Amino acid sequence: MAGHTRPLRILLAKLGMDTHTVGVTVIAHALREAGMEVIFTGLKQTPAMVAAAAIQEDVDVVGISTLSAGHTRSLPQLAQLLREAGAGDKLLLAGGVIPEEDRPLLEQAGVDRIFTMGSDTREIVDYLNQWWSRQPGSPD
Amino acid sequence: MHRKGSALRRASQRADTMSTEDHARAERGDQQRPSRPGEAAADATPPDDGIAAAAARWQAETRAPFVADNPERRDAFLTQALKWSVNPLYTPADLEAMGFDYLRDVGFPGEYPYTRGTGPNGHRSALWTMTQVTGFGKGEEWAKRARYMLDQGLSGLILEHDLPTTNGYDSDDPLVAGEVGRAGMALDSLEDLEQAFDLPFDKLQYLMSVCNAPQPVNLAMIIAALEKKGVDPRDFVLHIVNGILIEYTCVGRYIYPPEHGLKLATDCIEYIIRHHPNWAPISIIAAQLQPAKANPVQEIAFSLAIACAYIDATLERGFDIDTVAPYFHFVVNVDMDFFEGVCKLRAFRKCWARLMRERYGATNPAAMKIRMMTSPTTTALTLQQPLNNIGRLAIMATACALGGAGEHMTTPLHDEAHALPAEEAIRVGAALQHIVAHETGVADTIDPLAGSYYVEALTKQIEDAAFAEMDKVFEMGGALAAIRTGYFQRALGREQYERHRDIEEGRRKWVGVNHLTLEEEQREIEIFRLDEQVEEQQIARLRSLRERRDQAAVDAALDGVREAAAAGDNLLPACLVAVKAYATHGEICAAMRDVFGQYTPDSQLAGV
Amino acid sequence: MEVAAALVKGNVAAGARAMRWLDDRDPRGADVVSAVIGHTGGAHVVGLTGPPGAGKSTLASALIAEARRREHRVGVVAVDPSSPFTGGAILGDRVRMARHALDPDVFIRSVGTRGQAGGLSRSTHDTCLILDAMGYDLILVETVGVGQDEIEIVALAHTTVIVGLPGLGDEVQAVKAGLMEVGEIIVINKADREGLDHTLQHYETMLHLRASAQPDAPDAWTPPLLTAVATREEGTAAVVDAIEAHGRWLRANGEFAARSGRRARAQAMVLLRDRLSTLLDQHADPQVLAAVEARELDVYSAADALLAGLREALRRG
């Protein structure tokens, strides 16, 4: 497997009006500590804003933090927008308060992995590192 | 004493402006951990004092041989948030080494410096007022739930609004789709409040409303709704949180740039002092700093520095400190470290008293007595094994009571870690406070933990460190400057990351999370799900209102809001005209946005 | 070449992918560059540099708004520091430009310095080139703002805008003395803060010293000293005026193409050094290095021997 000559790029965003940042802050720091490039788009984002940023930045991963109940609408919308723009290959992660019963809907809509509130950041880092190591690197 | 002073300065430097882990890492090499309370006494040659000498003898003859055979179960015993080292034993010698003076540092209940309580009789004459947070969906749903809560023996209510409202948008704004009525009551117009206030106002003595960024609009709506209901505003207490500066610091529900946020907050304070002097115009919610992982020293220092920003702005409106200070109110959380919690509450009272006397020259005792609501924190609660949370809440509520409780105590619900509260949890939450108040005896004597060598030592350490941190904030230009430069935000971001690692790496045990976890655990608990139709109904009603109202009057009133904003006038009169004309909440917020602009801070991500 | 063809038509995803390839040193990136080079050279590259806290991102956001009103298509490269310890970074400049997120004529790319000194990243030049080929005619490059050694931007940009702020100590701003020698536009942002007069004086003195140190030329560019409050978009139209005026001045004096050319030349040398460095690593004779390590050979003789080995390897192809 060819190695990667650059760090993994991940976009972190908060969708909707929810402004709790503790979780996303902790994760941003942990990913940075793990050598990743974290692009933060700020609060109060719409799915369209996140999709536009993800495409311009051509990130490898899009991570969405949500703590209010709007995720059942906004996450599928985001996944749809990414696919429409030909960016469906990006890994789409969601984290925060997401009830178990919403999982099937979100997974079916294109969310690749859900990390619920209080997930160990090391688990997230491991998951991303493993995923990244399976992605084709650049030829030397 | 000299050594201790420098230790405190170093401790306060934990909240320095290092913006990344790199800086922290770079510094770790040459900077020792701050030394801890009590260490000075333990390290120094024992003074020629009977107790210190006896303690040294006990250590050498009795404890050391035992510990040699029975190693301690942890490498270091640290307090939960401050991570200050906890000594194996505290004696009068520790207090003497820190220059503790009973009359000066503690004194008597109801007298300066109020360490033992602001009232002269603790909770023996009356218990604290017991409240709970509520607020869901549409106005009439909130009223239904509020009536249920009043029936459970509560006399005060807290009205929270949904995110569209607190961020200044109407329910039909495309930006807020899916959020309407989710985390609080949707408030689009005076009509919504007219429905919400279908309440037994004879039982309701106290209503706290949380709507910080659009505070003048929210206050105007409540005043207008009470007028329509014919409620005499002198018969009960409306308490607005009006806490925009903490929104900029860590919560994030802001609309306008900080200087305008402060101006609007000051408008509300001024209006209430002049027109409804029995109401409460401001709360500093230290309880929002705590979940953002402020440690007790930062909680006190940041809260009080923020209070000073409001006070300074209010004094500029022509009031004096003895009039203004008694209007300030604090909400303070207690976390699971029992003694950090108790000592923080005791130190908080003293810091406020000292600040009012030393910085502002207050002479009115009411100005120096802090008004406080306490609460167990939701951040101690776990999603896993939710019934454990009832135990946690009982312990934290006990700590609140032992720390003095304040005039009010509010208890979160044991299932809040997952989502919105359910009815059974409301009943248990209300019962919990009654159990602490009536069954444990902790409310039967005043400040029962006073005189504990540990409690007094930790109280004083927290006080000293908080003052050092506050001085630092004042030096950089006060709370507004600290917000604009991101000082507060970065300090909290660092704490968030470090405390999270404490749990991940097992330095702090948390039952159900990293200790005594259950393999097969169902993480689902009963949650309060809002009816999907709420949003549609809310939007339908808002649109119908726009059809029914006198649009010309609305347009004129919104122009009036813009003019008042541009002229720098107090916004309340213009907002009152607008809400009575049924201009919507979002429309009025947008009118002010036209003048003040929208705030996009340098960094919305705390600590970056 | 599908990506190249798409990006010159302005396809956002294609342009973004080309930037990724160049970032990754994927050979397809080089192919894109040679395919699109004919579509480049038109963009005006503007560097924004200044101390941390000067509000560069907020200023950039206000400049974008103004430039859009003048129907420029705007590309932005926002550089933030990477951790020297982990290589990771938190790139947060987009936050302040969020209001342009949905404007199809604004393209924002965040990059980490990834160990590169000088306030830019290795790929900044390439990213600008792709933006140019995509038809963004105004490209803003926001540097790290670590406070020193940001001279790289001058080599990259047609126009360098120095962003200062009132009230910052002279000693901090003086660090920028090196930049003051070359900055073409000076903007004191946050001009509603205390200490503006003092800061303006400070900059005026430095500009005066700079002017008197340079030979008189009748058509020389005189750096304007402007003030702005970017959060309220006050004074930012004048900054865009100055940027456009400098662009016209560059073109009138043949400097526009000359600067682009010097930049390309410098970049070619960077690539050459890069490749030589790779070659050196590949061809350094391990026996020679082992001998140095064992102190059997001195370092000067070793370097001569390694270079001879490299020459030999290159001759053999």
Q: What is the pLDDT of residues C54-113, one digit of tens each?
A: 888 889 999 999 999 999 999 999 988 888 888 899 898 888 888 898 999 999 999 888
Q: Give the CATH number of the domain where residue B76 resides.
A: 3.20.20.240
Q: Which residue in chain A is spatially nearest to B526 when comparing CA positions?
A: A99
Would you call A28 an interface residue with chain C, using a CB distance cutoff of 8 Å?
yes
What's the whole-number average pLDDT of chain A? Answer: 86
Tell me what the mean pLDDT of segment B83-92 comes to.
95
Whether residue C223 has a cis bond before it, omega within 30° of 0: no
Is residue B384 a part of any domain in this protein?
yes
Rounded CA-CA distance B366/B370 in Å is 8
Which chain C residues are closer than 8 Å to B597 by Cβ? 231-232
Tell me: pLDDT of B568 over 80: yes
pLDDT tens digits, B492-537: 988 888 888 888 888 889 998 888 888 765 555 444 455 678 889 9
- Phi/psi for C24 (5° steps) reads -80, -5
**B418 contacts A99? CB cut-off 8 A:** yes
pLDDT score recorded for residue B489: 87
* Residue C16 to residue A58, Cβ atoms within 8 A: yes
Q: Is the pLDDT of residue C187 over 80?
A: yes
B402 contacts B165 by C-beta, under 8 angstroms? no
Which long-range contacts link B468-471 to residues 24+ away (Cβ below 8 Å)? Answer: B468/B8, B468/B9, B468/B11, B468/B12, B469/B12, B469/B15, B469/B297, B469/B298, B469/B301, B469/B302, B470/B300, B470/B301, B470/B304, B470/B305, B470/B351, B470/B355
Rg (CA), chain B: 25
**pLDDT-based confidence at residue B154 (cuts at 50, 70, 90):** low
How many distinct structural domains can be found in chain B?
A: 1
Separation between Cα atoms, residue B395 and residue B27, nearest integer Å: 37
Cβ atoms within 10 Å, residue A10? 26
Mutation pick from B28, B256, B602, B605 vs chain C, by most beta carbons of C within 10 Å, is B602
**Whether the predicted pLDDT of B608 surpasses 50:** no
Chain B residues in contact with A17 (beta carbon < 8 A): 163-164, 166-167, 169, 175-176, 179, 253
CA torsion through residues C145, C233, B216, B164, sign: negative
| Banded pLDDT at A78 (limits 50, 70, 90) | very high
Q: Is residue B561 part of a domain?
A: no
Residues 6+ apart with CB under 8 A from A17: A44, A68, A70, B163, B164, B166, B167, B169, B175, B176, B179, B253
Using the predicted structure, report yes or no on whether residue C149 has a pLDDT greater than 70: no
Q: Strand C185-188's sheet: what is its strand order?
A: C106-112, C74-80, C138-142, C44-49, C159-164, C185-188, C225-227
pLDDT above 90 as % of chain B = 61
**pLDDT for res B35:** 42
Contacts of C98 in chain B (CB under 8 A): 600
CB < 8 Å to C84, chain B: 22
Q: Are strands B129-134 and A113-116 parallel, antiparallel or unpaired?
A: unpaired
Distance from CA of A19 to the nearest CA of B (A): 5
Helix pair angle (B296-315, B258-275), 10° resolution: 70
Higher pLDDT, B551 or C84: B551
Is there a contact between B205 and B234 (Cβ–Cβ < 8 Å)? no
The pLDDT, as a whole number, for residue B513 is: 85
| Neighbours, chain A (3 or more CB pairs < 8 A) | B, C
Predicted pLDDT at B23: 44
| DSSP 8-state secondary structure symbol assigned to residue B358 | H
**Residue A38 C-alpha, separation from nearest chain C C-alpha, in angstroms:** 5
Q: What is the pLDDT of residues B258-268, one digit of tens each?
A: 999 999 999 99
Residues B347-372 have pLDDT tens digits of 999 999 999 999 999 999 999 999 99
What are the pLDDT digits (tens) for B190-240?
999 998 888 888 777 788 888 999 999 999 999 999 999 888 888 888 999
* CATH topology (fold) of C40-253: Rossmann fold (3.40.50)
**Other C-beta atoms lying within 10 Å of the C-beta of residue B433:** 27
- pLDDT score of B282 more than 50: yes
Distance from CA of B68 to the nearest CA of A (A): 36
Q: Quick one: pLDDT at residue C271? A: 84
- Position C179 confidence tier, pLDDT thresholds 50, 70, 90: low
**What is the least distance, in Å, from the CA of B173 to any CA of chain C?**
17
Q: What is the mean pLDDT of residues B89-95?
A: 95
Judged against a pLDDT cut of 60, whether residue B47 lies above it is answered with no
For every residue of B228-276, DSSP letters joined together read: HHT--TTSSEEEE---HHHIIIII----S-HHHHHHHHHHHHHHHHHH-
- Chains contacting B (3 or more CB pairs within 8 Å): A, C
pLDDT in tens, B241-254: 999 999 999 888 89
Query: Which contiguous run of DSSP H or E holds residue A62?
Result: strand A61-66
* Average pLDDT, integer, range C215-220: 72
Instruction: Please tell me the predicted confidence (pLDDT) of residue C120.
Output: 63
**Any residues with CB less than 8 A from the CB of C210 and at least 6 apart, and which?**
C180, C181, C223
- State how far residue A63 is from chain B, nearest Cα, in angstroms: 15
Reading the block at residue B510, the tokens are 């948390």
Chain-chain contact of C91 with A37 (C-beta, under 8 angstroms): yes
Nearest by CB: B605 against A28, A116, A122:
A28
Ranking A121-135, B121-135, C171-185 by mean pLDDT, the lowest is: C171-185
State the complex-level ipTM.
0.91
Structure tokens of B488? 């507060």
Mean pLDDT (chain B) is 85
- Show the domain range for B330: 1-126+322-405+412-523
pLDDT in the model for residue B19: 36
Are residues C16 and A38, on separate chains, in Cβ contact within 8 Å? no
- Compare CB distances from A40 to B250, B513, B608 and report the shortest one's residue: B608
User: Taking residues A13-38, what's their average pLDDT?
Assistant: 86
> What integer pLDDT is reported at residue B443 of this predicted model?
94
d(CA B496, CA B294): 8
| Range from A92-106, B412-426, C223-237, C264-278 that averages highest in pLDDT | C223-237
What DSSP letter does each residue of B117-186 carry, written as one string? -SSTTTTTS-PPEEEEEE--BSHHHHHHHHHHHHHTT--EEEEEB-HHHHTT--TT-GGGTT-TTTSSB-
Q: Which residues are bridge partners to B332 per DSSP? A: B374
A30 touches chain C (CB under 8 A): no
Q: What are the backbone angles phi and psi of residue B458, rounded to the nearest 5°?
A: -65, -40
Class of domain A12-113: alpha beta
pLDDT category of residue B127 using cuts at 50, 70 and 90: very high
CA gap A44, A23 in Å, rounded: 15
Name the pLDDT band for B134 (thresholds 50, 70, 90).
low
Dihedrals φ, ψ of C142, to 5°? -100, 120
Contacts with C53 from chain B: Cβ below 8 Å? 485, 602
The chains found to touch C (3+ Cβ pairs under 8 angstroms) are A, B
Q: Where are the domains of chain A?
A: 12-113
- Cα–Cα distance between C199 and C197 in angstroms, integer? 5
Neighbouring CB atoms inside 10 A of B99's CB total: 11
Taking only the tens place, the pLDDT of each residue in A44-75 is 888 999 999 999 999 999 999 876 667 788 89
Q: Which residue in B17, B22, B599 has the most chain C C-beta atoms within 10 A of its own C-beta, making it the best mutation to test that interface? A: B22
Mean pLDDT score, C267-275: 85
3-state helix, strand, coil in chain A (%, to 5): 45, 20, 35
The alpha carbon of B8 is separated from its chain's Cα centroid by a whole number of angstroms, namely 24
Quick one: pLDDT at residue B203? 78
- In the predicted structure, residue C172 carries a pLDDT above the cut 60: no
Q: Which residues of A touch C114 (CB under 8 A)?
A: 6-7
Q: What is the pLDDT of residue B5?
A: 37
Q: Do C108 and A56 touch (CB under 8 A)?
A: yes
* Mutation for testing the B interface, residue in C94, C110, C231, C232 having most B CBs under 10 Å: C231
Question: Where does the pLDDT of residue C304 fall: very low under 50, low under 70, confident under 90, or very high at 90 and above?
Answer: very high
Residue in the block written with tokens 């959020």: B179
- Which chain B residues touch C83 with a CB distance below 8 Å? 20-22
How does residue B30 score in pLDDT terms, banded at 50, 70 and 90?
A: very low
Most confident range (mean pLDDT) of B206-215, B491-500, B559-568, C139-148 is B559-568
Q: Would you list which residues of chain B are within 8 Å, Cβ to Cβ, of chain A? A: 20-21, 163-164, 166-167, 169, 175-179, 182-183, 250-253, 291-293, 382-383, 417-419, 493, 496-497, 500, 504, 513, 523-524, 527, 530, 600, 604-608
A26 neighbourhood in chain B, CB within 8 Å: 496-497, 500
How many CB contacts within 8 angstroms connect chain A with chain B? 106
Residues of B in contact with C231 (CB under 8 A): 257, 597
Rounded to the nearest angstrom, the gap between the alpha carbon of residue B311 and the centroid of all alpha carbons in its chain is 18
Most confidently modeled range among B17-31, B94-108, B151-165, B197-211: B94-108
**Tokens read off for B16:** 């320095």
Q: What is the pLDDT of residues B375-397, one digit of tens each?
A: 999 889 988 888 899 999 999 99
Residue of chain B whose alpha carbon sits nearest to that of A96: B418
3-state secondary structure of B207: strand
Mutate to test the interface with A, among C7, C21, C23 (most CBs of A within 10 A): C23
Task: Find the residue in B nearest to C91 (Cα).
Answer: B608
Mean pLDDT across chain C: 87
Q: What is the 3-state secondary structure (H, E, C) of chain C?
A: CHHHHHHHCCCHHHHHHHHHHHHHCCHHHHHHHHHHHHHCCCCEEEEEECCCCCCHHHHHHHHHHHHHHCCCCEEEEEEECCCCCCCCEEECHHHHHHHHCCCCCEEEEEEECCCCCCCCCCCHHHHHHHHHHCCCCEEEEECCCCCCCCCHHHHHCCEEEEEECCCCCHHHHHCCHHHHCCCCEEEECCCCCCCHHHHHHHHHHHHHHHHHHCCCCCCCCCCCEEECEHHHCECHHHHHHHHHHHHHHHHHCCHHHHHHHHHHHHHHHHHHHHHHHHHHHHHCCHHHHHHHHCCCCCHHHHHHHHHHHHHHHHHHC
Alpha-carbon span B337 to B380, nearest angstrom: 10
Q: How confident is the model at residue B417 (pLDDT cuts 50, 70, 90)?
A: low
Q: What is the pLDDT of residue C13?
A: 92
What percent of chain B has a predicted confidence (pLDDT) above 70? Answer: 85
Residue type, A134: R
Do B25 and C85 make contact, defined as CB atoms within 8 angstroms?
yes
pLDDT for B569 equals 97
Residue type, A114: I
Note whether B22 contacts C58, CB cutoff 8 Å.
no
Letter string b/e over residues B116-148, b meaning 16 or more CB atoms within 10 A of that residue's CB: bbbbeebbeeebbbbbbbbbbbbbebbbebbbe
Cα torsion B587, B588, B594, B596: sign: negative
Q: Give the pLDDT band of residue B91 (cuts 50, 70, 90).
A: very high
Q: By mean pLDDT, which of B165-179, B526-540, C211-225 is the weakest?
A: B526-540
Residue pair B588/B217 in contact by the 8 Å Cβ criterion? yes
Q: Which residues of A touch B183 (CB under 8 A)?
A: 18, 68-69
User: Is A68 within 8 Å of B179 when comparing Cβ atoms?
Assistant: yes
Across-strand partners of A66?
A96
Look-up of token digits 């607190």: B166
pLDDT at B523: 55
CB contact under 8 A, A20 and B252: yes
Residue C266, chain A, CB below 8 Å: the answer is no
Strand partners, B280: B239
pLDDT at B180: 86
Chain C contact present for A36, CB below 8 A: yes
